[in-house]
């Protein structure tokens, strides 16, 4: 099975906005411009300011996480020394 290409930030935000019942409610909740969000959702523009994108991602519950590098993921950990129990 081929690997799926991850969605771009633009596609992710468009999907989230398309799933809400009211883009106007999101705009009001975040104090954003409703026409800007509507143009973005329609595809009339692909750009949002970093601040706007950040507010939308936070609103929809996304967090930024750095992926673990493949070398670190597959590396074996060195054995840890076990302490002798105190008697």
pLDDT in tens, 36-71: 999 999 999 989 999 999 999 999 999 988 887 776
- In the chain, count of helices (H) and strands (E)? 5, 0
Token pair 């409703």 in the structure block, residue: 34
Segments making up each domain of the chain, as ranges: 9-63
Longest dimension (CA), the chain: 73
* Cα distance between residue 13 and residue 19, in whole Å: 10
**CA neighbor of 24 nearest in space, from 15, 34, 36:** 34
What's the mean pLDDT when you consider all of the chain?
Answer: 86
When pLDDT is cut at 50, 70 and 90, the band that residue 4 belongs to is confident
């Amino acid at each position: 099975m081929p690997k799926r290409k991850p969605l771009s930030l633009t596609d992710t935000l468009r999907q989230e906005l398309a799933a809400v019942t009211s883009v106007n409610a999101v705009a009001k909740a975040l104090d954003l411009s409703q026409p800007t969000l509507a143009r973005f959702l329609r595809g009339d523009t692909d750009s949002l300011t970093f601040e706007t994108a950040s507010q939308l991602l936070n609103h929809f519950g996304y967090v930024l996480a750095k992926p673990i590098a493949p070398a670190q993921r597959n590396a074996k950990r060195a054995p840890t020394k076990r302490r002798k129990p105190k008697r």
